Amino acid sequence: GESVGLHLPTLSVQEGDNSIINCAYSNSASDYFIWYKQESGKGPQFIIDIRSNMDKRQGQRVTVLLNKTVKHLSLQIAATQPGDSAVYFCAENIPGNQFYFGTGTSLTVIP
Amino acid sequence: KAGVTQTPRYLIKTRGQQVTLSCSPISGHRSVSWYQQTPGQGLQFLFEYFSETQRNKGNFPGRFSGRQFSNSRSEMNVSTLELGDSALYLCASGRGTGREKLFFGSGTQLSVL
């Protein structure tokens, strides 16, 4: 099966700091990637996506970077807030196949 | 626009029983995917349905099955429940065109005693 891994299972940041969550993917054929946020008791919520023909995409306070050379994905959250505390998953998609999710990184924001 | 609805929210069963979970996708979405999530694990793909046909299947035993109806609503069934089947079962809907974001429901928390 596919492997989508995260470098750090937990991450703690001070409120107001920037957060960076990393993700490694294994299949070079993956051409679409999504970051999801999951809060306790809820289903994953879409944050931002990026296609393989892009290296960077920005949203509101979030930026996703894609490095296809080393098969690495990262999510940057600017000015992290307590409401950002959650588990973050990256997911990769190969055309015609399902999404493969990593095990997640737990982000804790310290007030 | 209503989101993805999963019922029931919580379920308690005993070993050997069977269970059926339901998912109503976002209106207009034709694809429904099911995932199993256990503590400390990522989301494990079960299967995907599109226009009433199973389009992709994960590596789960045959005790796990699903179906999709003409209105795109989907059900998944687990027969002969085992303790290890205790998990959060998540349903995600999409247009089904591929390379698109999935929208998840809140899940059904299944506990097998």
What pLDDT digit, counting tens, does each position of A33-57 carry? 999 999 998 999 999 999 999 999 9
Examine the pLDDT at A111 and tell me if it is beyond 60. yes
Which of A18-27, B18-27, B91-100 has the largest mean confidence? B18-27
Strand (E) positions, B1-113?
5-7, 10-13, 19-24, 31-37, 43-50, 53-57, 64-68, 74-78, 87-94, 103-104, 108-112
Q: Residue A104 burial by CB count (10 A; 0-12/13-18/19+): exposed, middle or buried?
A: buried
- pLDDT per position as a tens digit, B72-95: 999 999 999 999 999 999 999 998
DSSP, res B98: S
- Kindly state whether A105 is in contact with chain B, defined as any CB-CB distance less than 8 angstroms: no
Decide if A44 and B40 are in contact by the 8 Å CB cutoff.
Answer: no
Decide if A103 and B40 are in contact by the 8 Å CB cutoff.
Answer: yes
Q: Residue A25 burial by CB count (10 A; 0-12/13-18/19+): exposed, middle or buried?
A: buried
Decide if A98 and B56 are in contact by the 8 Å CB cutoff.
Answer: yes
Work out the pLDDT band at B96, boundaries 50, 70, 90: confident
Between A19 and B100, whose confidence is greater?
Answer: A19
Q: Which residues pair with A100 in a beta bridge?
A: A92
What residue of A is the nearest CA neighbor of B58?
A: A98
- Cβ neighbours of B109 (radius 10 Å): 16
What residue of A is the nearest CA neighbor of B106?
A: A43
pLDDT of residue A3: 43
Decide if B58 and A98 are in contact by the 8 Å CB cutoff.
Answer: yes
Of B40, B99, B106, the CB nearest to A42: B106
Examine the pLDDT at B67 and tell me if it is beyond 90. yes
Examine the pLDDT at A2 and tell me if it is beyond 60. no
Decide if A41 and B98 are in contact by the 8 Å CB cutoff.
Answer: no
pLDDT of residue A4: 55
Decide if A96 and B90 are in contact by the 8 Å CB cutoff.
Answer: no
Work out the pLDDT band at B1, boundaries 50, 70, 90: low
Gap from B100 CA to chain A (nearest CA, Å): 8
Of B59, B90, B103, the CB nearest to A1: B59
Q: How far apart are CA A1 and CA B24, in angstroms?
A: 28
pLDDT of residue A98: 84
